[in-house]
Amino acid sequence: MKLLLDTCTFLWIAQDSSALSPRAREVFADPANEVYLSVVSVWEIAVKHALGRLTLPQTPDRYLPQLRERHGIESLALDEESVMQIGKLPGHHRDPFDRMLVCQALAHGLTLLTPDPFISRYPVRTAW
């Protein structure tokens, strides 16, 4: 399975948070799965950190690549095919970062690892 991590899921993995469901831990830990973090999530984390709404132990440019490498998570670039999906989405969700993650999952056939019930309303595969 190819997984795209929701931003909160990535942060919870980094913190080994109890907010992760047992199923999410299992799916993430399965070595047969390919796991991706979107640059959209990196952007979201950087914005929230800059606004003082997210505390990190280091600046995002140092912390995020280290976490990805430590956990074997690949980076997923934002491409034109993904962006073009935005016009096809119903208006279930107003968060632009989440909507773009849905677009990337749709464009690349990824399963979105997310606890967000709004995201599961889109025609995208999710796991939690």
Whether this model's pTM surpasses 0.75: yes
The upper half-sphere exposure of residue 59, i.e. CA atoms within 13 Å in the direction of its Cβ, equals: 3
pLDDT tens digits, one per residue of 60-109? 999 999 999 999 999 999 999 999 999 999 988 889 999 999 999 999 99
Strand-by-strand arrangement of the 74-76 sheet: 74-76, 34-38, 2-5, 111-113, 126-127
pLDDT tens digits, one per residue of 4-54? 999 999 999 999 999 999 999 999 999 999 999 999 999 999 999 999 999
> Which spans in 1-128 are helix H?
7-15, 22-29, 39-50, 60-71, 80-83, 96-108
Distance CA 64, CA 82 (A): 22
Distance CA 35, CA 28 (A): 7
